[in-house]
Amino acid sequence: MKFKNNSLFWIAGAISVIFDQLTKYWVVQNFEFRESWPLWEGVFHFTYVTNTGAAFSLFSNNGAWLRWLSLAVSLGLMALAWFGPRMNRWEEVGFGLILGGAVGNGIDRFMLGEVTDFLDFRLINFPVFNVADVSINLGIICLLIVMFRPSPPRNEGPTSH
């Protein structure tokens, strides 16, 4: 069994987890629960809230299983990076960012039973979110780029006529 390198996957995942956890720590240390600091009044605030559910507070009444989903996604992505095919750069970064987001929110779910959210984009009344959520969405965008980007032509080698 051969392990793949996929170093950008690991780098993107690690940076994502570290940045997510540092920003959540900063919020918890500097804000009272539900306190809000406007960065741009009425447009973007830092607002400390928690979420026991998934995105948009889905499953917030019975979201304990989400910790296991975070763990399963994380282990699946790590297995893909170790044992799956060699990824291109966009795939490595995309899957790495998704891993980082799953691990970041998974740490919160296992340690606290809820996820710390603080990015409050009020211009369109969007639910409060966090860096892990941003990482997951950026990862999905990277994978969409791969899907819709034309594949380079394969070099079939010399042909005989």
- Which residues participate in catalysis according to the annotation? 117, 133
E strand intervals along the chain: 36-40, 44-51, 115-121
- Number of neighbours of residue 106 by Cβ within 10 angstroms: 22
Q: Token pair for residue 149?
A: 């980007």
Question: Helix, strand or coil for residue 118?
Answer: strand
